[in-house]
Amino acid sequence: MPYAIDETHDQNLKSWVESANDPKSDFPIQNLPFVMFDDDSSSCSYIAVAIGDKVLNLHVLEEQGFFDEKTWDELSFYGCSLNGMANASYETRKRFRTRLQDLLKVDGCDDLRKCEFLDSVLKDRGQVKMTMPFEIGDYTDFYASLFHATNVGCMFRPDNPLLPNYKHIPIGYHGRASSIVPSGTSIKRPVGQQAPTEEGGSPGFGPCKLLDYEMEMGVVVGRGNELGEPVSIEDAEDHMLGLCILNDWSARDLQKWEYVPLGPFLAKNFASTVSPYIVTMEALAPFRCPAEERDASDPQPLPYMDSDANRKAGGFDIKVEVHIASAKMREQGMEPVHLSTANLKDMYWTLAQMITHHTVNGCNLQPGDLLGSGTISGPTRGARGSMLELTWDGDPFANPPISAPGTQRTPIVLPTGEERKFVGDGDEIIMKAYCEREGYRRIGFGECRGIIEPARTV
Ligand code: MN
């Protein structure tokens, strides 16, 4: 297990960047997630780490000789993305994390705090624009929550909610990297085909009527693997650089019509949103937990996806929250409404199992690839990670279950009196994620936001 808890996780570490010591901040000195930002001063975005309400520009620091050449070369930050650092060894990344902490902590090395260009290197987060942190080559989305799969299965296939492969294979599909956008990008409501309303009839065509979000976490792949060379379960985590929040926007009416027999296509590839902060595997070390324990009656994973280390610490204790604010709510200055809270630790498959399964046939992952966890839902109504599940008026394990999306749905009533069964035009969906554990400093993932714009006219 390379990601050990060490002195960089000490909860007593404080930064001279005061805002980082606010217990509510997502970005204390124990976190230091990587970001890219733009401030119009250069044609290329800058590589940075977030600390409190600031971003620390690593390019400028490097120019001023704050990092030793060996570490910087190995991290190979080049071009307009973080892809170069994906091949850096664990030791190099750890050395870099320790150095950053030394520059930022109280009673550390004072060189940075006292330097004359501090204003140009440490910028207010609010004054800069976060851009895509990685150039994503390939994107795969999984379906690893048994709660989500059962809920959706009950609606789409009431007689047969959970397909026989589910407990043997981490189910996934290959998504579209080109339409992944950073938090804050507006999303145009997609247009497409909808199932005929009567048997033998013609399909409908027009703006999506059942637009949804999916609350997920994304894994940024660090080191890749050679084509033909699978990644073992023991090595899987060595290929993960860090995690971000992912909103897998989903057009449910398009999905219902098109998903048989090859799975989602246009229902998913019009847009996905990621949070700009990549929280590293090193920072997440204190928040590891056992993989979800399977029911005694469930099959055990095949040996290639099973290991002691994965059982004991393959999980991540990360709380994930979804909030909504309609255009009217924002106009009236109302706070967003909380929709759900779930936890990544409740997933049926671990992230390591997903990587191992993805490559078992020899498929090669590459630095900067993005893997989505699948919608994170839990056992209770308040832990449902999509609107489809949340407004569904039924117990997920009821018998007989409710048959189709769009029927017998319980709308969410917003403080303006507006009702939502799915996401409306002008609505903003806000996702948050954070880790808390007694004895450790809370760390967070920032936010993943997107506002829905009306569809183009057809
Ligand atoms: Mn998804």
DSSP 13: -
Instruction: Report percent pLDDT > 70 for the chain.
Output: 95
Q: Which two tokens stand for residue 47?
A: 């590589």
Cβ neighbours of residue 238 under 8 Å, at least 6 residues apart?
A: 2, 90, 222, 223
Same structural domain, 357 and 445: yes
Question: Looking at residues 377-399, what average pLDDT do you find?
Answer: 80
**How many A from CA of 379 to the centre of ligand 1?**
18
The CATH number given to whatever domain includes residue 39 is 2.30.30.230
Residue closest to 444 by CA, chosen among 284, 282, 219: 284
3-state secondary structure 362-397: CCCCCCCCEEECCCCCCCCHHHCCEHHHHCECCCCC
Q: Are 84 and 76 in contact (CB under 8 A)?
A: yes
Q: pLDDT value at position 399?
A: 42
**How many A from CA of 141 to the centre of ligand 1?**
6
3-state secondary structure 192-221: EEECCCCCCCCCEEEECCCEECEEEEEEEE
**Among residues 130, 157, 173, which one ends one of the domains?**
130
Same structural domain, 146 and 57: no
Does residue 445 sit within a domain?
yes
At 19, the pLDDT band (50, 70, 90 cuts) reads very high
Cβ neighbours of residue 87 under 8 Å, at least 6 residues apart?
A: 76, 222, 223, 367
**How many A from CA of 457 to the centre of ligand 1?**
27
**How many A from CA of 438 to the centre of ligand 1?**
31
Same structural domain, 126 and 150: no
9 is catalytic: no
**How many A from CA of 143 to the centre of ligand 1?**
6
Q: Are 67 and 103 in contact (CB under 8 A)?
A: no
The number of folded domains in the chain is 2
* Digit-coded pLDDT (tens) for 221-232: 999 999 999 999
Same structural domain, 73 and 163: no
Q: pLDDT value at position 401?
A: 47
pTM above 0.75, yes or no: yes
Residue 398 scores a pLDDT above 60: no
* Digit-coded pLDDT (tens) for 238-255: 999 999 999 999 999 999
Distance from the first to the final alpha carbon of the chain = 54
Question: For residues 143-177, b (16+ Cβ closer than 10 Å) or e, as one string?
Answer: bbbbbbbbbbbbbbeeeebeeeebbeebbbbebbb
Cβ neighbours of residue 407 under 8 Å, at least 6 residues apart?
A: none
Length of the chain: 458
Range of the domain at 84: 7-130
Q: Among residues 9, 59, 148, 358, which one is catalytic? A: 148
* Choice among 43-47, 216-220, 365-369 with the minimum mean pLDDT: 43-47
Q: pLDDT value at position 400?
A: 43
Same structural domain, 326 and 422: yes
Q: pLDDT value at position 90?
A: 87
**How many A from CA of 272 to the centre of ligand 1?**
9
Torsion of CA 154, 159, 164, 170, to 10 degrees: -20
